[in-house]
Amino acid sequence: MTVLPLTMMDSPVLHQKAKRVRKIDDSIQKLIDDMIETMYQLGGAAGLAAPQVGIPLQVVVIELPESGLITLINPQVVKSSGEHEVMEGCLSLPGYRGSIKRAESVTVKGRDRYGKEVRIKAEGLFAQALQHEVDHINGVVYVDHLESMDNLYKAEPEDDDESGYI
């Protein structure tokens, strides 16, 4: 497994829609393994989308206490409800956090790494991470949701690590 370099906010790949995966072959399995390794190496990261490692494909990995380690291929939000203000950070914009609105709960449909169709209903942080990662594969980043640049904050030095970034 290989730790992949992260793309940063100024990279075009983060602002374009990623391609659907048509066949979950060995190269996709390797990409998933490398993404998991990369997420672990970033200690405390809650998730990672393929465009964040420069690959314009619809593949995401998430790991939270409430979700365990999951891989989603071609995920899409099929239902969302409620709305709340959340603090969010992204591995592609280290040192910043923003206050944005997210749905409180979502249902996401996609496939796991074995090609099996999955449907996940989530709330709270898990729902937030799912929305963040599905956004990534659609070329949307959380700063696109900021109502004002006043809602973007420099992280305090003491919490300036990757924890909580997705």
Judged by beta carbon, residue 130 or residue 166, the one nearer Ni ion is 166
24 binds Ni ion (CB under 5 A): no
For the chain, the residue count is: 166
Write the interaction track for Ni ion spanning residues 94-133; mark x where CB under 5 A is met and - where it is not: ----------------------------------------
Judged by beta carbon, residue 62 or residue 166, the one nearer Ni ion is 166
133 is catalytic: yes
Distance CA 128, CA 139 (A): 17
Distance CA 104, CA 94 (A): 25
Sorted by sequence, the CB contacts under 8 Å of residue 31 that are 6+ apart come out as 50, 55, 57, 59
Beta bridge partners of 117: 111
Residue nearest Ni ion (C-beta atom): 90
Distance CA 74, CA 110 (A): 5
> In the set 90, 108, 130, 137, which binds Ni ion (CB under 5 A)?
90
Residues engaged in binding Ni ion (CB under 5 A) = 90, 166
What amino acid positions are annotated as catalytic residues? 133
